[in-house]
């Protein structure tokens, strides 16, 4: 066995479906290359399980390049594993040592029910966006793009916030299972830009309400989320959301945010 | 089968405007009586669903991911083209049109391309209004960069995440409509068949990927915006779930498949590192703006890059194409890399790689500027390879990236099945035989925001149809077929995994229908693919049952379709006995090794018509005429 | 919770947090004032008792201040308990293995340092304000009460533990409240965190100096 190969012990959460209770199961992985990605290791495990006639480990993934936000699991007690600013799909086995035991379990939150093994349902995030994470600009109504200059630093900061991939690691890492970083990022992205001003405060109220309704926890400003976030969304996005929500509350609500458009 | 492009005649500059005024409209009060089934929530699908809903139609949207926001458009890095001419460097609608037709090696429909170039301008306006944070100058105005294959800076970008930002814009518009209840969203739902009633597309059969429930959805028109089929090669830059099933099922119901052999290889991907490799990662081609591509001059020079002196390096793109240098179009860059590796001058452990070197750019501009421009790409490279591209040149190799072929559609984006529209990468598209960088996002959004909402309305307004009953014979039949297929896949209980079949299919396609193709190879592929397919249906093993999350089953269905699709792709490549764009037949090369077209015989679209199981499909032809951009041998010297 | 907008605000997670932060501000300012006054212990008996009498000069001011404090503590504790309960609801199934990363020790122990402080306050009131837990309580001589009170090592130890908790509680709490009411801005985080730690350390150092001063006979 060369130095490029590892033997690992995996403790993986197996759960048949949302209704059943799950448990950890242990699997031995022999001689896996350090160049392999973490998900490729699970692929190899699954190939083995399938040929043995066993159910493969279900996990979500799609782009495998750290942008779609589909993948995500707890790896040794940290969402997306030990490497900073890295999604599960971009984690490579060179981050582990020969003989390591790796504990793998799903993201856990009431608003993220486990569907099977490592697969969770994050539709709650979609509903937060549906509540107000948009600028109501019907197709065709847009003015010439350069008619509204946006200072570069504002646009850059909006981009920092907009980089969120909606993976849910912030929720998974948060001691209170709060969705503050995700929601704060979207609200800041839109709230920073001049285009987002008209709906800014109604958006704040609508999104915060939805976040609570989904059963996410509160924020004790623990800052685990920022550390876990593969896109390093900064924690001041949460402060900005709090500020907007406070201002919106003091100012009182305006028109309800609605789907708009159409006859 | 007769292929009518339905593109309006007359001056090209006004053809879309005139067409729009000629099309029928649906009265606003009547729109809610119509239901459109929108499969796919990528740029094309999300944009169309949102816009149609804004106009008042009912839309049912489907995607296989857990959220519409995760469609594969999210992965596009480099940018989106638009003929804004903000850089004041001579760009115009005409030039974008010209570049696209030329870049596509004269295999695209001129009028479609012209419309695309016209609409490009509105796309940027729309996206900015939605809050897409495109890169800006200190003045606050939008900035542009140049991209492979063009000499103007017309590409808008949002760091290295342009696709993500555009998709999030479309997704937010879609989310707003979901909240308004006019769009019903079905995530984790895969389309497995098309329902055709009285010759018109009226519905789809889906499988709920959580419960396994097979359902039918009925409506007045169906739109497929399901992305490309690059995963037929197994290893590609596409997301793992990308598939051809939707358009393949439609093909088998009568929607002709256009130019399936037009596939694009992207020159700047991270090389393969082992056989466990599950996908390839693209490094945005914008890196070629500042990175220089080279290999050692000597064969088998295995010294580390920093020990190879300047005079022992061959900057082959700069040498062979002085005018465009490292910015030649993708197909040219890819083949040049392959040629270098074939000569034994490839780098890295496998010898399948070339250097992309930032040393000069860092010297010239400083590491900070490079970091600001490409930081996240360079970090991504480091994460994957463990090497620091600020210090060691990156290693890159071409990989399958985009598919120009797809369902044949007319000017209205309607397939050969009335009522079935196909948009985005899924259609055979406006890119001819080769797509220019940053044009797919443009096309997806053009189709979704600005074309379909008109042409689909026109179809609805001019078509009278009865409601289809849920227990209509065709519906029942399609449901039954889908159920049977699932049962069959689960019942084989053979010895080989789905992935092992997929890998083997991919290797056949890459070896014989990849960067360079020839008659003998394609004939080999045409023997091996059916044999592999036969083995698949005898020896595949799919564990578990239908009534649960079963990723092996999902894959099996997709690979079964790829095993059929791959054969058609190779057949198309064999019968297109010329080279053009991404389709490079070794028999047809200029003395310098460039693609040599045969305009007399092949200036047409090949649209394949399904003829039944085990029958050779029929190759229909839509001739292409070039009234504005006259075909010449492409040259980037 | 329908209807009144403010009701909805205070029922929401952020609303409750803001309530906690606002009461936290009152309490934080109180301890600042309290420690400043108490440091008069080092200025001698006359000054200290003079200050103590001054505080009680007007019953209205005294009870006004006491009710604000009491209300703050009660609301603070109310929101803490309510949010803590929601925390359990938000993650009904816990992790097999969870490695905290990015949070400070103080942040993770808020839920311990807070209640310990509550217990301390009860004891402290019985000790110095009511006198029930004091061996030789003299309502009119705060100075002596403190000197006598801190002559017992176990009592001093209890105070030191409580001050350690206060230090932890404030070092996270002050940063946290600035985040909660939205003071934080890009690039400010590092500075704000230092302000919080500085505030906590200064206040606690002030408090701690008194029992230690008594114990080491600097204050007699
Ligand atoms: C790595 C990468 C980088 C790229 N960079 C650029 C770039 O810089 N500029 C550029 O212009 N282009 C780029 N492209 C190309 C461009 O991103 C795509 O062509 C374009 O986004 C396709 O959009 P789409 O809407 O057609 O399909 P997609 O975004 O692929 O969406 C397909 C949708 O269909 C759904 N779907 C698919 N099959 C089914 C099914 N059977 N049932 C139900 N739903 C289904 C999916 O869930 C998804 O929602 C890049 C592509 C890749 C792979
Ligand atoms: C009397 C002294 C106290 C002071 C000065 C104080 C101060 C603070 C402050 C400033 C905060 C931060 C508010 C925010 O995040 O917005 C806070 C939070 C908190 N306090 Fe106190 N508090 C005191 C007493 C208590 C008591 C008696 C409890 C007991 C239950 C308590 C429990 C908490 C909890 C649980 C939090 C939230 C944790 C967090 O935000 O991280 N505190 N406190
Ligand atoms: C070692 C440090 C401390 C000393 C020496 C001290 C001393 C005193 C004294 C002497 C009094 C009585 C004043 C009087 O009745 O005349 C008092 C009251 C009080 N102290 Fe402290 N204290 C200390 C720390 C604290 C802390 C940390 C808190 C809060 C968390 C606190 C909260 C109070 C309160 C609420 C009162 C009652 C005020 C009132 O009469 O309404 N003290 N303290
Ligand atoms: S904020 Fe970060 S961790 Fe949370 S969803 Fe977005 S990208 Fe993931
Ligand atoms: S970890 Fe949780 S507590 Fe707040 S700062 Fe992040 S959401
Ligand atoms: S699979 Fe897309 S981010 Fe990991």
Structural domains in chain A, sorted by start: 5-116 (3.10.20.30), 122-135+150-251 (1.10.1060.10)
Please check whether residue A46 is in contact with residue A38, taking contact to mean a CB–CB distance below 8 angstroms: no
Mean pLDDT of A200-220: 96
Euclidean distance between CA atoms B369 and B158, whole angstroms: 16
- Nearest-CA neighbor of B56 among B88, B26, B80, B92? B26
* CB distance C180 to ligand 3 below 6 Å: no
Euclidean distance between CA atoms C37 and C48, whole angstroms: 8
pLDDT score for B614:
87
A136 interfacial to chain B (CB closer than 8 Å): yes
- Which helix (H) or strand (E) is B451 found in, with range? none
Euclidean distance between CA atoms B571 and B593, whole angstroms: 23
Chain centroid to CA B231: 11
Residue A254 has pLDDT above 80, yes or no: no
Pairing label, strands B35-39, B221-224:
parallel
Q: Which atom of ligand 1 is nearest to B285's Cα?
A: 8
pLDDT score for B160:
83
| Contacting residues of A for C184, CB less than 8 Å apart | 235-236, 238-239
- Sign of the Cα torsion C70, C71, C72, C73 reads positive
| Contacting residues of B for A158, CB less than 8 Å apart | 131, 133
Distance from CA of C28 to the nearest CA of A (A): 17
Q: pLDDT for A11-29, tens place per residue?
A: 999 999 999 999 999 999 9
Q: Vertex A195, ends A194 and A198: CA angle to 5°?
A: 90
Compare CB distances from A209 to C12, C107, C185 and report the shortest one's residue. C12
Q: Determine whether the interchain pair C189/A235 forms a contact, defined as Cβ–Cβ distance below 8 Å.
A: yes
Euclidean distance between CA atoms A39 and A58, whole angstroms: 11
Pairing label, strands B618-623, B604-609:
antiparallel
**Which residues have CB under 8 Å from C118's CB, separation 6+?**
C73, C77
Distance from the alpha carbon of residue C34 to the mean position of ligand 3, in angstroms: 7
A215 interfacial to chain B (CB closer than 8 Å): no
Confidence at A260, pLDDT banded by 50, 70, 90? very low
Active-site residues of B: which are they?
330
Confidence at C5, pLDDT banded by 50, 70, 90? low
- Written in H, E and C, the secondary structure of B8-38 is CCCCHHHHHHHHHHHCCCCCHHHHHHCEEEE
- Which helix (H) or strand (E) is B405 found in, with range? none
Q: Which two three-digit tokens encode residue B496?
A: 């080989």
**Which residues have CB under 8 Å from B141's CB, separation 6+?**
A146, A149, B86
Please check whether residue B138 is in contact with residue B8, taking contact to mean a CB–CB distance below 8 angstroms: no
Helices and strands in chain C: count of H runs, count of E runs: 9, 0
Please check whether residue B598 is in contact with residue B587, taking contact to mean a CB–CB distance below 8 angstroms: no
| Contacting residues of A for B181, CB less than 8 Å apart | 259
Q: Classify residue C208: in a domain, yes or no.
A: yes
Q: Classify residue C66: in a domain, yes or no.
A: yes
Q: Which of C24, C27, C79, C86 to mutate to test the pocket of ligand 2 (most atoms within 8 A of CB)?
A: C24
Q: Classify residue C158: in a domain, yes or no.
A: yes
Pairing label, strands B257-258, B221-224:
unpaired
- Which helix (H) or strand (E) is A150 found in, with range? none
Q: Classify residue C69: in a domain, yes or no.
A: yes
pLDDT score for C2:
44
B631 burial via Cβ count (<10 Å: 0-12, 13-18, 19+): middle
N-term to C-term CA, chain C = 57
Q: Which of A190-204, B523-537, C4-18, C110-124 has the lowest mean pLDDT?
A: C4-18
Please check whether residue B605 is in contact with residue B572, taking contact to mean a CB–CB distance below 8 angstroms: no
Instruction: Point out which residues pair with B215 in neighbouring strands.
Output: B206
Q: pLDDT for C7-53, tens place per residue?
A: 777 789 999 999 999 999 999 999 999 999 999 999 999 999 999 99
Q: How far is CA B424 from CA A148, B64, B406, B409, B470, in A?
A: 29, 17, 10, 11, 30
Residue C3 has pLDDT above 70, yes or no: no
In chain A, pLDDT over 70 holds for what percent of residues? Answer: 95
- Sign of the Cα torsion B357, B362, B364, B370 reads positive
Distance from the alpha carbon of residue B518 to the mean position of ligand 2, in angstroms: 74
Distance from the alpha carbon of residue C42 to the mean position of ligand 2, in angstroms: 29
Q: pLDDT for C139-179, tens place per residue?
A: 999 999 999 999 999 999 999 999 999 999 999 999 999 99
* CB distance A235 to ligand 4 below 6 Å: no
Compare CB distances from B274 to A36, A149, A150 and report the shortest one's residue. A36
Residue B196 has pLDDT above 80, yes or no: yes
Q: Which atom of ligand 4 is nearest to A72's Cα?
A: 8
pLDDT score for C1:
37
Phi, psi dihedrals of residue B176, rounded to the nearest 5°: -65, -35
Mean pLDDT of B426-441: 94
Domain that holds residue C175: 2-215
CB pairs under 8 A between A and C: 148
* Residue found by looking up tokens 């989904």 in the block: A214
Euclidean distance between CA atoms B299 and B353, whole angstroms: 13
- Written in H, E and C, the secondary structure of C29-96 is HHHHHHHHHHHHHHHCHHHHHHHHHHHCCCHHHHHHHHHHHHHHHHHHHHHHHHHHHHHHHHCCCCCC
- Nearest-CA neighbor of B61 among B188, B164, B196, B147? B188
* Residue found by looking up tokens 């939150």 in the block: A109
Chain centroid to CA B497: 27
Q: Classify residue C43: in a domain, yes or no.
A: yes
| Contacting residues of A for B56, CB less than 8 Å apart | 261-263
**Which residues have CB under 8 Å from A262's CB, separation 6+?**
B28, B31, B53, B54, B55, B56, B180, B182
B393 burial via Cβ count (<10 Å: 0-12, 13-18, 19+): buried
Q: Classify residue C220: in a domain, yes or no.
A: no
Q: Classify residue C195: in a domain, yes or no.
A: yes
Taking phi first (over 0 means left), then psi (-120 to 50 degrees means alpha), and beta for anything else, what does residue B322 get? Answer: alpha
Average pLDDT, chain A: 94
Please check whether residue B460 is in contact with residue B531, taking contact to mean a CB–CB distance below 8 angstroms: no
| Contacting residues of C for A173, CB less than 8 Å apart | 101-102
Residue numbers of A between 14 and 43 with CB closer than 8 Å to C: 24
Which residue, by CA, sits nearest to atom 23 of ligand 2?
C114
N-term to C-term CA, chain B = 41
Please check whether residue B268 is in contact with residue B396, taking contact to mean a CB–CB distance below 8 angstroms: yes
pLDDT score for B172:
98
Q: Which two three-digit tokens encode residue A3?
A: 């130095």
pTM of the prediction?
A: 0.95
Q: pLDDT for C42-100, tens place per residue?
A: 999 999 999 999 999 999 999 999 999 999 999 999 999 999 999 999 999 999 999 99
Average pLDDT, chain B: 95
Euclidean distance between CA atoms B289 and B320, whole angstroms: 17
* Residue found by looking up tokens 């929530």 in the block: B41
- Which helix (H) or strand (E) is B323 found in, with range? none
Residue A248 has pLDDT above 60, yes or no: yes
Residue B129 has pLDDT above 70, yes or no: yes
* Residue found by looking up tokens 């309960």 in the block: C85
Residue A263 has pLDDT above 70, yes or no: no
ipTM value, please give it: 0.95
Q: Determine whether the interchain pair A223/C98 forms a contact, defined as Cβ–Cβ distance below 8 Å.
A: no
A86 interfacial to chain C (CB closer than 8 Å): no
Q: Which two three-digit tokens encode residue B152?
A: 């103007």
Mean pLDDT of A50-61: 96
Q: Determine whether the interchain pair A209/C181 forms a contact, defined as Cβ–Cβ distance below 8 Å.
A: no
Neighbouring subunits of A (3+ Cβ pairs under 8 A) = B, C
Chain centroid to CA C8: 28
Tally of structural domains, chain C: 1
- Nearest-CA neighbor of B192 among B167, B171, B213, B163? B213
* CB distance C52 to ligand 3 below 6 Å: yes
Mean pLDDT of C190-204: 98
* CB distance A103 to ligand 6 below 6 Å: no
Q: Classify residue C91: in a domain, yes or no.
A: yes
Please check whether residue B382 is in contact with residue B270, taking contact to mean a CB–CB distance below 8 angstroms: no
Greater confidence (A135 vs B327) lies with A135
Please check whether residue A192 is in contact with residue A158, taking contact to mean a CB–CB distance below 8 angstroms: yes
Distance from CA of B594 to the nearest CA of A (A): 32
Please check whether residue A110 is in contact with residue A215, taking contact to mean a CB–CB distance below 8 angstroms: yes
For testing the chain A interface, which of C78, C101, C185 should be mutated: the one with the most A CBs within 10 Å? C101
Euclidean distance between CA atoms A95 and C40, whole angstroms: 57
Q: How far is CA B467 from CA A38, B195, B220, C39, in A?
A: 50, 13, 8, 86
Distance from the alpha carbon of residue B41 to the mean position of ligand 1, in angstroms: 9
CATH of the domain at C35: 1.20.1300.10
Confidence at A262, pLDDT banded by 50, 70, 90? very low
Residue B226 has pLDDT above 50, yes or no: yes
Residue B81 has pLDDT above 80, yes or no: yes
Task: Identify the DSSP state of A88.
Answer: G
A70 interfacial to chain B (CB closer than 8 Å): yes
- Which helix (H) or strand (E) is B540 found in, with range? strand B540-541
Neighbouring subunits of B (3+ Cβ pairs under 8 A) = A
Task: Calculate the CA dihedral of residues C106, C109, C110, C116 and round it to 10 degrees.
Answer: -120
For testing the chain A interface, which of B79, B138, B175 should be mutated: the one with the most A CBs within 10 Å? B175
Question: Interhelix angle for C153-180 vs C13-38, to 10°?
Answer: 140
Residue C217 has pLDDT above 80, yes or no: yes
């Amino acid at each position: 066995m060369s130095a490029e190969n590892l033997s690992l012990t995996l403790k993986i959460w197996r759960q048949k479906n949302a209704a059943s209770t799950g448990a950890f199961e242990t699997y031995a992985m022999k001689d896996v290359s350090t160049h392999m990605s973490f998900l490729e290791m699970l692929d190899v495990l699954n190939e083995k399980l399938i040929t043995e006639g066993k159910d493969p480990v279900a996990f979500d993934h799609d782009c495998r390049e750290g942008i779609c936000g589909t993948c995500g699991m707890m790896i040794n007690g940290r969402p997306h594993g030990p490497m900073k600013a890295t999604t599960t799909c971009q984690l490579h086995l060179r981050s582990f040592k020969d003989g390591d035991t790796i504990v793998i379990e799903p993201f856990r939150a009431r608003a993220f029910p486990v569907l099977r093994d490592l697969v969770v349902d994050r539709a709650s995030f979609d509903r937060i966006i549906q509540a107000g994470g948009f600028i109501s600009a019907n197709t065709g109504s847009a003015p010439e793009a350069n008619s509204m200059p946006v200072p570069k630093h504002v646009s850059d900061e909006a981009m920092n916030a907009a980089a969120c991939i909606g993976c849910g690691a912030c929720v998974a890492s948060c001691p209170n299972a709060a969705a503050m970083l995700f929601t704060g990022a979207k609200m800041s992205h839109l709230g920073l830009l001049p285009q987002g001003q008209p709906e800014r405060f109604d958006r704040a109220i609508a999104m915060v309400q939805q976040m609570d309704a989904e059963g996410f926890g509160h924020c004790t400003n623990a800052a685990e989320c920022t550390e876990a976030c593969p896109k390093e969304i900064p924690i001041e996005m949460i402060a900005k959301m709090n500020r907007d929500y406070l201002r919106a509350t003091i100012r009182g609500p305006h028109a309800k945010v609605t789907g708009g458009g159409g006859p | 089968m007769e292929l009518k492009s339905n593109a309006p005649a007359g001056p090209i500059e006004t053809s879309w405007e005139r067409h729009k005024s000629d099309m029928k409209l649906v009265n606003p009060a009547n729109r809610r009586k119509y239901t459109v089934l929108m499969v796919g929530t990528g740029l094309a699908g999300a944009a169309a669903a949102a816009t149609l809903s804004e106009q008042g139609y009912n839309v049912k949207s489907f995607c296989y991911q857990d959220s519409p926001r995760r469609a594969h458009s999210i992965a596009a890095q480099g940018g989106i083209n638009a003929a804004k001419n903000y850089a004041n460097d001579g760009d115009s609608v005409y030039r974008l049109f010209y570049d696209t037709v030329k870049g596509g090696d004269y295999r695209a429909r001129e009028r479609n391309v012209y419309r695309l170039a016209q609409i490009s301008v509105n796309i940027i306006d729309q996206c900015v209004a939605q809050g897409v944070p495109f890169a800006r100058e200190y003045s606050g105005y939008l900035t542009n960069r140049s991209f492979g294959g063009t000499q103007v800076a017309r590409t808008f970008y949002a760091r290295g995440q342009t696709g993500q930002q555009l998709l999030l814009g479309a997704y937010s518009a879609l989310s707003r409509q979901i909240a308004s209840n006019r769009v019903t969203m079905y995530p984790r739902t895969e389309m497995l068949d098309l329902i055709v009633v009285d010759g018109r597309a009226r519905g789809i059969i889906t499988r709920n990927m959580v419960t396994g429930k097979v359902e039918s959805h009925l409506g007045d028109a169906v739109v497929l915006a399901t992305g490309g089929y690059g995963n037929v090669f197994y290893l590609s830059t596409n997301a793992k779930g990308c598939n051809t099933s939707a358009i393949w099922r439609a093909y088998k119901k009568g929607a002709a498949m256009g130019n399936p052999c037009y596939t694009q290889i992207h020159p700047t991907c991270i090389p393969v590192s082992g056989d466990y490799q599950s996908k390839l990662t693209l490094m945005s081609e914008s890196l070629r703006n500042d990175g220089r591509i080279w290999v050692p001059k000597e064969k088998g020079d295995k010294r580390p890059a920093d020990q190879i002196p300047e005079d022992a390096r061959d900057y082959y793109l700069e040498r062979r194409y002085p005018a465009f240098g490292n910015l030649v179009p993708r197909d040219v860059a890819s083949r040049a890399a392959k040629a270098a590796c074939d000569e034994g001058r490839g780098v890295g452990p496998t010898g399948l790689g070339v250097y992309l070197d930032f040393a000069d750019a860092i010297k010239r501009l400083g590491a900070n500027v490079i970091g600001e421009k490409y930081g996240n790409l360079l970090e991504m490279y480091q994460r994957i390879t463990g090497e620091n591209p600020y210090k060691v040149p990156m290693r890159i190799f071409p990989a399958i990236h985009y598919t120009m072929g797809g369902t044949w559609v007319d000017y209205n984006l309607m397939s050969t099945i009335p009522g079935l529209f196909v948009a985005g990468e899924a259609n055979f598209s406006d890119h001819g035989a080769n797509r220019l960088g940053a044009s797919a996002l443009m096309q997806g959004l053009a189709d979704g925001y600005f074309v379909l909402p008109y042409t689909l309305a026109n179809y609805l307004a001019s078509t009278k149809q009865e409601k289809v009953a849920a227990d209509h014979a065709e519906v029942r039949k399609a449901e039954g077929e889908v159920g049977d297929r699932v049962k069959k896949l689960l019942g084989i209980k053979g010895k080989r995994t789905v992935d092992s079949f997929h890998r083997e299919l991919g290797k056949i396609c890459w070896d014989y229908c990849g960067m360079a193709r020839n008659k003998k190879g394609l004939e080999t592929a045409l023997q091996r693919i059916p044999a592999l397919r036969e083995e698949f249906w005898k020896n595949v093993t799919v564990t578990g049952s239908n009534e649960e999350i079963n990723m092996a089953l999902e894959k099996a269905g997709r690979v079964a379709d790829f095993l059929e699709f791959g054969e058609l792709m190779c057949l198309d490549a064999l019968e297109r006995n010329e080279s053009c764009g991404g389709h490079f037949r070794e028999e047809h090369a200029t003395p310098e090794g460039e693609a040599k077209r045969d305009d007399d015989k092949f200036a047409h679209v090949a649209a394949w018509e399904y003829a039944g199981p085990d029958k050779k499909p029929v190759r229909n032809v839509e001739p292409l005429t070039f009234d504005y951009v006259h075909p010449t041998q492409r040259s980037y010297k | 919770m329908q209807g009144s907008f403010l009701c909805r605000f205070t029922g929401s997670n952020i609303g409750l947090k803001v309530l906690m932060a606002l009461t936290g501000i009152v309490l934080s300012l109180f301890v600042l004032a309290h420690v400043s006054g108490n440091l008069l212990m080092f200025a001698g008996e006359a000054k200290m008792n003079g200050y103590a009498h001054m505080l009680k000069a007007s019953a209205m001011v005294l009870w006004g201040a006491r009710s604000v404090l009491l209300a703050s503590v009660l609301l603070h504790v109310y929101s803490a308990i309510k949010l803590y309960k929601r925390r359990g609801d938000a993650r009904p199934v816990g992790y097999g293995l969870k490695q905290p990363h990015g949070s400070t020790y103080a942040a993770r122990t808020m839920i311990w340092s807070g209640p310990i402080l509550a217990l301390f306050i009860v004891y402290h009131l019985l000790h110095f304000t009511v006198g029930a837990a004091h061996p030789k309580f003299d309502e009119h001589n705060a100075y002596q009460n403190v000197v006598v009170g801190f002559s017992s090592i176990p009592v001093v130890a209890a105070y030191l533990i409580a001050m350690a908790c206060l230090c932890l509680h404030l070092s996270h709490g002050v940063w946290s409240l600035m985040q909660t009411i939205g003071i934080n801005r890009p690039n400010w985080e590092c500075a704000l965190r230092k302000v919080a730690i500085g505030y906590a350390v200064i206040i606690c150092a002030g408090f701690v100096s008194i029992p230690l001063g008594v114990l080491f006979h600097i204050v007699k």
